[in-house]
Structure 1
Amino acid sequence: MRFAALALCAASVYAADLTGRWTGPASTADNGQELVLALKQAPGGGFSGYVQGPRATDTIVGGKLEGANLTLDVERPGRNNAVQKLAYIGVVEGNKLKLTLPSPFGGRGGAQQKAPPKAPPVPQVVELSRVSNDAPAPLPARPAPVSLPMPEPVHANGLAKTPPMGWNSWNKFRNQVSDKMVREIADAMVKSGMKAAGYVYVNIDDTWEGAHRDAQGNITTNNKFPDMKALSAYVHSKGLKLGIYSSPGPKTCAGYEGSYQHEEQDAKTYAAWGIDYLKYDWCSASQVYDNTQATMVNAYAKMGLGLLNSGRKIVYSLCQYGNLDVGAWGERVGGNLWRTTGDISDRWDSMQRLGFELQTDREKVAGPGHWNDPDMLEIGNGGMTNDEYKTHMSLWCILASPLLAGNDIRDMKPEVADILMNKEVIAVDQDKLGKQGKRVAKDGDKEVWAKPLADGSHAVALFNRGADTASVTAKWSDLGINGARTIRDLWKHADLGRKSGEFTATVPSHGVVMVRIK
C-alpha cells in the first residue's frame, strides 16, 4: 500500500530550521502504527532524510521551504529496481506538521490498481510533532535480496476439490474490516442464502495484524480484532470457515507484520486460532528475496510446509500476481489456488481484461485441489451494470475460478443476490470433473467459451464484449460434439428445446447468454 502524495499545509510564515525527527500516527485506522519524518535542512535551504511509514520508506532527495510552505522531493523503491518519484507538499505550525494523505491506502500487487468503486480516494489528515532537533542518521543500506534454491515439493493437503467459495473483505471494505463486521457478514451469509448456495469461507484480508510481535515472536492482532480464536469459533458456529491474510515478506501490502522468518510459527498460530484459509500475498517479499522463480518457489514452499505441519488443514491461496509462471509450480508448494493476474477493480475494462485476455492457455494446470485464480468477484459493488456482472460471474464459472464475493452481503439488492446465488451457474463452477473451460471461438467482440462437465454435457457461454447488441453462435464443431442436443438457458432457467449443428442467441452489449448443452 502507498501513502502517495502528501500535503503539508501552512498557516503562517515560518523560516526556522526544520531539521529533526517528527512523528505521529500514520492514520486514524492504523492501530498504533507510526509515521516518521527524519529531516535535515541544509544551510542553503535544501532537504535530505527520509519518511518512514507502515507502507514504505521514502528517501528525501530535495525540496524547498517558502515561508511556511514546504515541498519535499522523494523517491520510493519499486519492483525490479524501479524508482517512483513523489512530492510531499504543504505547512508548518510551530513544532507541528499537518500532513494530508490522499488515501490511507493505494494500489497493491500487480499491474492493476484498486480504488474504491466510483469514489475518489478520501484525503486523510495526520499531525506530526517534532520530538527531536537532531539531524537524522542515514538509513542502513538495504541488504541485497537473498537467492534461494528450488525446494522439495510440499505434499498436497487434500483440500479444495472444487474451487473455494466464500467472501473476502478487501474489495469493499479494505482497512475498515473488523471483528464486528466479520461476525455480521457470517450472520448475513447464512440469512441471505449464500451459505446454502455454497459460499462457506469468510476471509479477512489485510489490516488485521498488530504493529509488533509479542516477546516470543508470535504474530498479534490489532484492536479491531481483540480475540481471533473467539471470532473463529463464532464463524464456525454458523457452519462457515474463517480465512486470514499474510505475506512472505517482512510487511504486508498495507504495511502490517508479515510472516518473513516466522513462517512455521505463524502457521501454528493460525492453526491454534482455528483458521481454515490463508491468502499469502507477495508484497514486500521483493525487498528481501531476488526476482527468480526458484527463490519465489522456496519462499512460498516455506509457508506451504508450515501449514502442512501445523496440525490443521488450511486452504493455501498464493497471491503473487501470476508472475514467474506460477501455474507450473503452484501445486508444488502446496498451493490450492494461485492468482494469475494483478488486482481486479470494479470496472468493465479491468474485469474483462483479467477474465478474457489473461486466462488463455492456463486450463492445463487447473484441476481438483489446484485452481487458477483471476481474483475476487466485484459483483454488487456498483461499478458495473447487471449485464456486466452476469458476464463476470459466467466467465469465472466457466474458468472454474474460486468464487469469493467482495460486496457487502449484509445489504444486497435482489438482482445482486440473483447473480451470486444462481445455482445452475454455480454448478458449472463446482462441477466434479474439475475442468477449466476455455475460449473455443472468437469473431471480433463476440466470443464463445466452453467447459466440459462430469455428466458429458458442456457449459457454453456466448459473450458479447462489444458496444451494441449482437447475435452470437456456438457451433457444435467448435465444441467437439455432433447430433441433436438439448439446450438449457442457465440465467433464464428455461429449456430451449433441441438443436442440431449450432445454437445462436441475441446477446446484449457486455452481456452473456449461458447454456448447458447435453
Structure 2
Amino acid sequence: MDPATGRITGQVDRPGTYLVTLKARGARGRDEKKLRIVIGDQIALTPPMGWNSWNSWAWTVDQDKVLRSARALVAAGLDRHGWSYVNIDDTWQGKPDPATKALQANERFPNMKALTDQIHAMGLKAGIYSTPWMASYAMYPGSSASNPEHTWVSPPQDKRFIEPNPHHQFGAYSFAANDAKQWADWGFDYLKYDWNPNDEAHTREMSEALKASGRDFVFSLSNSAPFEHADDWARLSNAWRTTGDIVDNYESLCQNGFTQSKWAPYSGPGHWNDADMMILGWVGWGPALHPTHLSPDEQYTHMSLWCLLSSPLLIGCDLEKLDPFTLSLLTNDEVLAIDQDPLGRAATQVSTAGGDVTLVGAAPYASHGETNSVTQPRLQVWAKPLEDGSQAVGLFNLGDATAEVTANFADLKATGEQRVRDLWRQKDLGAFRTSFTTDVPSHGVVLVKISRTK
C-alpha cells in the first residue's frame, strides 16, 4: 500500500479471494476493517462508479475538458468514495489509421496515450466510446465501414440525431478487433458500445475483441437492450442499458428508474442493469449548462433508486461546478454501500398504494417541445437484499403532496422485530415489529436499511 495515496498494487501467484486487514489510528482513536481483494478473470464485481462526458459536454468534449474533470473529481474527494472511471463519450473519433485500420482521435484529442497516463496517475481509470455502426449517433466514425480500407467521409453535421440515417447501420467490414487493440494500446479500461437495438452477434464480436486485446475492459452496452435477450447481455457484457436516454426531468427519471423490476434477476457481480447516467449537478448536453431541473427531493429519489437498482453510477455533470448539496449526494457512504453491496442483487418493487399518477416531461433532445408521459403507482416500496442478511428499502412518493408510506415486513419477507436506520440522515429510527410507516415528501424518498434485532 502506498502510504501517501492508499493505492494497493502488486501481484499474486494464483487467482482467488484474499482478505487483508486495514488498520487506522489517529487523534480520534483506532479502527480496523477487512478488505476483500478478489483476483480472477471476472471484473466489475460491483457496479462501476465514475463520470461520463455526454450529459455536460456532449459533442463539445475535448482532451482538456476530460483531464480537468478527472482533476476535479480528485479535488472534490470523490475518488475516496469509490468514483473511479473518467469516460469519454461520443465525438472523440477521427479518421482511421491507413495502416492499422483502427479509429484515431480527432484534433480535439491530440494525445490519447498521454491522457490515459495522466488519468491513471491520479488513481483513476479511463473509458472510451464506439459503435458497431458505420457512424455514431453524433455522426462520427464507427467500428465498421462499407469498404475494406475503412475510409471515412464526414456526413453533414446537420444530420446528427436524424432518423432513419443511412450511416446508422452495420458496414460490410468490421474493424472491432482493430479498434479494441488500439484502445488497449492507449490504456483505456472501459468501453461504452452504443447502437439500437443491441444484438447478440455484434455484442459477442466486441466482447471477444476486448478479451483478445491484452487489457481488461469493462464492456458496457448502450442503449435500450431488448429484454428478451437479457441472458446474452449478462453473458457477454458487464453492463447494458435497460432504457432509452435520460434527461433532467422527473418524468424521465421515473420512466427509467421505476420500470426495472423485471430486469432484477440478471443483476449480479460482473454484470449489471444500467438505468443510464446521473442527472445531478450542472448538466446541459453541450456548452450551455444549467443546474439540473430536478428538485432536491427528486435528486434524493434519483440517487436512492439507482443505488437500490445496483445500477452503474456515472455522474454526467460539470465536475468543476460541484455545489455542496450535489457533493453530499455523491459522498454519503451508507447510501453508496447499497449500490456497491457485494451480493449484487437489484431491488424490486414489493408494494404499491394510492392509485396511479401520470407524469409528463420533455422528451430527450426535444427541439420542438416534444414530451413524454409515464403512468406509475403513486406510492411505491422497493427492496434490495444485502450480503449481511439485511435489506435496503426505499419508500417513494410520486404524488404532488406529502403522503404516508408503509413498508410491511410481510411484503419484505422479514420476520421478527426489525431495526430501521435512515441512510440519508445516518440515524437509527428504532425497532418495529410488523411494519415501518413514515411521511414522504412529494417526489421524494425515505431510504432505510432494516435488519433483524438480536
TM tier relative to shorter chain: 0.7 to 0.9
In the TM superposition, what is the alpha-carbon distance from 1:214 to its structure 2 partner? 3.2
**2:392: which partner in 1?**
459
User: Quick one: distance in 1 between partners of 2:186 and 2:305?
Assistant: 35
Does structure 1 retain, via aligned residues, the 8 Å contact 2:100–2:178?
no
Report the AA paired with residue 243 of structure 2: T
Report the AA paired with residue 184 of structure 2: A
Report the AA paired with residue 484 of structure 1: E
Structure 2 counterpart of 1:515, from 426, 448, 453:
448
- Give CA deviations for 1:372-408 in whole Å, capped at 9, x if unaligned: 0111110123111111011011001110000001111
Unaligned runs of 5+ in 2: 1-39, 145-173, 283-291, 356-377
**2:253: which partner in 1?**
351
Report the AA paired with residue 433 of structure 1: L
User: Quick one: distance in 2 between partners of 1:479 and 1:216?
Assistant: 56
Q: Is 2:425 the counterpart of 1:425?
A: no
**1:325: which partner in 2?**
228
- Give CA deviations for 1:41-89 in whole Å, capped at 9, x if unaligned: xxxxxxxxxxxxxxxxxxxxxxxxxxxxxxxxxxxxxxxxxxxxxxxxx
**1:342: which partner in 2?**
244
**1:397: which partner in 2?**
307
User: Quick one: distance in 1 between partners of 2:245 and 2:195?
Assistant: 13
TM-score for the superposition, normalised by structure 2: 0.76
Does structure 2 retain, via aligned residues, the 8 Å contact 1:248–1:258?
yes
User: Quick one: distance in 2 between partners of 1:280 and 1:157?
Assistant: 21
User: Quick one: distance in 1 between partners of 2:311 and 2:227?
Assistant: 20
Report the AA paired with residue 411 of structure 1: K
In the TM superposition, what is the alpha-carbon distance from 1:324 to its structure 2 partner? 5.6
CA root-mean-square deviation: 1.4
User: Quick one: distance in 2 between partners of 1:178 and 1:393?
Assistant: 28
User: Quick one: distance in 1 between partners of 2:405 and 2:447?
Assistant: 11
**2:213: which partner in 1?**
310
**2:163: which partner in 1?**
none
Structure 1 counterpart of 2:177, from 259, 264, 271:
264
User: Quick one: distance in 1 between partners of 2:185 and 2:71?
Assistant: 23
Bigger radius of gyration, 1 or 2?
A: 1
**1:118: which partner in 2?**
none
In the TM superposition, what is the alpha-carbon distance from 1:177 to its structure 2 partner? 1.1
User: Quick one: distance in 1 between partners of 2:114 and 2:431?
Assistant: 54
Q: Is 2:352 the counterpart of 1:442?
A: yes
Report the AA paired with residue 379 of structure 1: L
Does structure 2 retain, via aligned residues, the 8 Å contact 1:378–1:407?
yes
Unaligned runs of 5+ in 1: 1-155, 284-290
Equivalenced residue count is 351
Does structure 1 retain, via aligned residues, the 8 Å contact 2:94–2:140?
yes
Report the AA paired with residue 132 of structure 2: P
User: Quick one: distance in 2 between partners of 1:279 and 1:498?
Assistant: 44
Does structure 2 retain, via aligned residues, the 8 Å contact 1:185–1:409?
yes
Report the AA paired with residue 349 of structure 1: E
User: Quick one: distance in 2 between partners of 1:324 and 1:373?
Assistant: 12
Spell out the pairing of 1:57-456 with structure 2 (5 A cutoff). 157-260=41-144, 261-282=174-195, 296-323=199-226, 325-332=228-235, 334-357=236-259, 359-381=260-282, 382-443=292-353, 444=355, 445-456=378-389
TM-score for the superposition, normalised by structure 1: 0.66
SS in structure 1 of the partner of residue 129 of structure 2: strand
User: Quick one: distance in 1 between partners of 2:47 and 2:142?
Assistant: 26
In the TM superposition, what is the alpha-carbon distance from 1:326 to its structure 2 partner? 3.7
Report the AA paired with residue 336 of structure 2: I
Report the AA paired with residue 331 of structure 2: M
User: Quick one: distance in 1 between partners of 2:349 and 2:77?
Assistant: 32
SS in structure 1 of the partner of residue 394 of structure 2: strand
User: Quick one: distance in 1 between partners of 2:255 and 2:54?
Assistant: 20
Question: Percent identity at matched positions?
Answer: 46
Structure 1: 4+ residue segments shifted above 3 A:
211-216
In the TM superposition, what is the alpha-carbon distance from 1:206 to its structure 2 partner? 0.2
In the TM superposition, what is the alpha-carbon distance from 1:322 to its structure 2 partner? 2.1
SS in structure 2 of the partner of residue 503 of structure 1: strand
**1:288: which partner in 2?**
none
**1:101: which partner in 2?**
none
User: Quick one: distance in 1 between partners of 2:98 and 2:72?
Assistant: 34
In the TM superposition, what is the alpha-carbon distance from 1:325 to its structure 2 partner? 2.5
SS in structure 2 of the partner of residue 167 of structure 1: strand
